[in-house]
Structure 1
Amino acid sequence: MSQSYSPSLLTTPTYINVTNPEDDSVVSNDVTTTLGALILGLVFLLGVPGNLFIVWSILARTRQRSVTTLLILNLACADGILMALTIFFIVYLAKQSWVFGDAMCKGVFYLCNSNMYASIFLITLMSVHRMVAVVFPRKAKSLVTKQIVRRAIIGTWVLVMLISIPSLVFRDLRVDLDEKRMKRLVCAPNHTEARHVRFQYTLETVAGFILPYSVIITCYVLILRRLRQTKFQRKVRSENLILAIVVTFGLFWLPYHIINMLQVAAEWCKNGSKAKENLDEISKNSRAVTSCLAFISSCANPVLYTFAGKSYIKQSGFAFMARLFEGTSLDQTGTKKIRGQSKDLAESSSTGTPPLRNGK
């Protein structure tokens, strides 16, 4: 839940008015703030314990940690941090005033932005890993070692901390005058130029959604092509699980990025034009709700894992999640089967004879 903001070198909050849509507080609409607070409250109750349970299951109960498990661990950490931050926004929406000071105003939104990038980048790494394991099964062990994956994960966290700096810089604590001319502190965007709006929101959507999803879609197209070539029909557990994570993330974040692009489009419109007024109005009224919906994706993953591992619940109790994650290491079984079928396919191509099936 991140927006674009400008730095403040002032020791006290500045005054703003409500005539410019960019200055409108995200807590200025009673209906959207109430709905947003309810959504975030539910997200907090589900997301924090859910992601903590995932982290505990992997660190304390999972004996065999596959590459997928390492990526899920980092994703749960990113989601857990994001869920823990929702308490600040619940208070913000409830009080309709930011009571945590300027440093927390910048820091909380910076962490939110960082974890947004971390989530999608880690999901992208999962997709790339599955693509390598299925499309290049013979090279998978040399291309995707745990050491390489750990370096990739560290590099990902460094990248997200750097790419999120604009959300730290373009953020300010100010005094807002509402419709009744009452004063309240808001942690909101304060762009001084239209190009700042275009830069921040375009960066978020391109780097945090369009480019990663292009890579993800490409990976799954290659996976499906490979599976059809080898006629490999067995469902791999982590394949379906990762695909569910990808789809869920996209569904909940898409409205947020659509609003981003509408706000960017508004900045290209002529000042005072009807088109600009309409786009600004849509962005202003939808920003809080779409941001809250984006938070849901981080509490949805524990629910997905629970459904994926429900067959282990009766047998393993609270250890069912660990059994699920240990099962991701069995993906190599599917990889070996693909490797064997790939070999049969290659032999049949060179000899002109159909591949053997079940020894026949």
Structure 2
Amino acid sequence: MDSSNSTTNLRGVGVIAGAAILSLVFLLGVPGNIFIVWSVLARTRRRSVTTLLILNLAFADGFLMLLTPFFVVYLVQQSWIFSLALCKVLFYLCCTNMYASIFLITLMSLHRLVAIVWPKRVAAVSDPRALTRVLVGLWALALGLSVPVLVFRTTISLSGNNTTSFVCNCNHTQPQYVVMQYGMETVLGFLLPYSVIIGSYVCILRRIRKTRFRRRIRSEKLILVIIVTFGLFWLPYHIVNMMQVAAALHPEGSTKEGLKKISTSLRVLTSTVAFVSSCINPILYTFAGKSFIRREGLAFMARLFEATAHYSTKIRQSNQNSREKDTDEGGSLKDKDSDSITTPHTSCIIKVVPQKKGK
């Protein structure tokens, strides 16, 4: 078998595998995220901050899953058969989902940090109006940071073997545009928020170890799994981003061409893997809430979210009780010290009685 035939066969296998993965993502992600939205809106009796953030995350992921068929067709046809407007808008929405997802997970982590480490301030960050403003600002920021996709994404024609195909790709006229777009995606959409998330959970775990409520908390475990899986699925995509940035900054030569070739060949694979992260959360919630399934039926996920809020309250109460006990103990010691200081003075008071004059 010659090399051209083997290359064609490998490409065909890759296309079939990618299309199969995206089709599975669509079949799992759309109903799964719709079920989460329905559970929160229709079955959850008490909507905590974490529940509302999960609702926004499910909405973002579910909407992205609805766009999956376009990318399946793109893979199978090996050519962009849709319009330039769809090329820009679809990838713009994908980028918005990336930013919104990591920002929502960061907000989850920061809220847990305040609730557990500074429980007296949790009311300030749980106000519905304040939360609504934060969420509106988050979505506006995600939409704004994704604008470079609208600017640089375009359709490019490729000719070969007497056929012409089109790709929907970014066309940067200057190297600094490559650095700006992909550097911004990786720094603002991954490295910076993930550093905040890791720092938050280090503080949370340190605080939990000091409290009397030391058993493993289901809600903390669930959110930690969401964070880890998101990072694993998106890390390859951002590695490719950094390879493209390195290629743009590197002087002309074999190294530059090699980085371009590798990043171009891996871009489709890493983007497909990143898509999987949007369908994985419903599966994680199902495993986490399996103890509720027999008892609650279709409402099991709503009970899981309510249990998340309940466990968070128990941690806060444990924190407050431990602090109040420390304060009481400190106050009683202070009272004892003050008693030991004032008592000698009171016992040393001498009553002077004037003597009567004799006759």
Aligned residues: 324
Do 1:32 and 1:288's aligned partners in 2 also have CA atoms closer than 8 Å?
A: no
Residue of structure 2 in register with 1:301 after alignment: 281
Tell which deviates more after alignment, 180-189 or 339-348.
339-348
Residue of structure 2 in register with 1:287 after alignment: 267
In the alignment, structure 2 segments of 5+ residues that lack a partner are: 1-9, 335-359
Change in 2 beyond 3 A, CA 1:279/1:181: farther
- Does structure 1 residue 315 correspond to structure 2 residue 295? yes
- Does structure 1 residue 232 correspond to structure 2 residue 229? no
Among 161, 181, 184, the residue aligned to 2:165: 184
**Per-residue displacement from partner, 1:49-77 (whole Å, max 9, x unpaired)?**
10000001111111111111000000000
Q: How far off is 1:349 after superposition?
A: 6.0
Supply the AA of the counterpart residue of 1:112: C
Residue of structure 1 in register with 2:59 after alignment: 77
Among 232, 243, 246, the residue aligned to 2:224: 243
Among 219, 222, 226, the residue aligned to 2:200: 219
Q: How far off is 1:235 after superposition?
A: 2.4
Among 134, 140, 148, the residue aligned to 1:166: 148
Supply the AA of the counterpart residue of 1:56: W
**Per-residue displacement from partner, 1:192-222 (whole Å, max 9, x unpaired)?**
1111111110010001000110110111111
Residue of structure 2 in register with 1:175 after alignment: 157
Supply the AA of the counterpart residue of 2:322: Q
Tell which structure's C-alpha radius of gyration is larger. Answer: 2
**Per-residue displacement from partner, 1:16-47 (whole Å, max 9, x unpaired)?**
xxxxxxxxxxxx94443332212111111111
**Per-residue displacement from partner, 1:205-260 (whole Å, max 9, x unpaired)?**
00100011011011111111212232531222221111111001000000100010
- Does structure 1 residue 146 correspond to structure 2 residue 125? no
Q: What CA distance in whole angstroms lies between the structure 2 residues aligned with 1:320 and 1:157?
A: 29
Among 252, 255, 268, the residue aligned to 1:275: 255
Q: How far off is 1:266 after superposition?
A: 1.0
Do 1:313 and 1:320's aligned partners in 2 also have CA atoms closer than 8 Å?
A: yes
Q: What CA distance in whole angstroms lies between the structure 1 residues aligned with 2:234 and 2:27?
A: 20
Q: What CA distance in whole angstroms lies between the structure 2 residues aligned with 1:139 and 1:345?
A: 19
- Does structure 1 residue 98 correspond to structure 2 residue 80? yes
Do 1:241 and 1:308's aligned partners in 2 also have CA atoms closer than 8 Å?
A: yes
Q: What CA distance in whole angstroms lies between the structure 1 residues aligned with 2:207 and 2:233?
A: 29
Q: What CA distance in whole angstroms lies between the structure 1 residues aligned with 2:204 and 2:315?
A: 13
Q: How far off is 1:340 after superposition?
A: 1.0
Tell which deviates more after alignment, 45-54 or 31-40.
31-40
What's the TM-score, normalizing by structure 2? Answer: 0.86
Q: What CA distance in whole angstroms lies between the structure 2 residues aligned with 1:351 and 1:202?
A: 57
Higher relative contact order (CA 8 A, sep 6+): 1
Query: Equivalent residue of 2:307, what SS?
Result: helix
Where do 4+ consecutive residues of structure 1 move more than 4 Å? 346-353
Give me the CA root mean square deviation: 1.8
Q: What CA distance in whole angstroms lies between the structure 2 residues aligned with 1:324 and 1:184?
A: 49
Among 306, 313, 316, the residue aligned to 1:335: 316
Query: Equivalent residue of 1:138, what SS?
Result: helix
Do 1:256 and 1:294's aligned partners in 2 also have CA atoms closer than 8 Å?
A: yes
Residue of structure 2 in register with 1:67 after alignment: 49
Query: Equivalent residue of 1:139, what SS?
Result: helix
- Does structure 1 residue 196 correspond to structure 2 residue 177? yes
In the alignment, structure 1 segments of 5+ residues that lack a partner are: 1-27, 354-360
Do 1:266 and 1:280's aligned partners in 2 also have CA atoms closer than 8 Å?
A: yes
Q: Percent identity?
A: 55
Q: What CA distance in whole angstroms lies between the structure 2 residues aligned with 1:350 and 1:278?
A: 69
Q: How far off is 1:351 after superposition?
A: 6.3
**Per-residue displacement from partner, 1:124-170 (whole Å, max 9, x unpaired)?**
00000000000001221133322222211111011111111011111
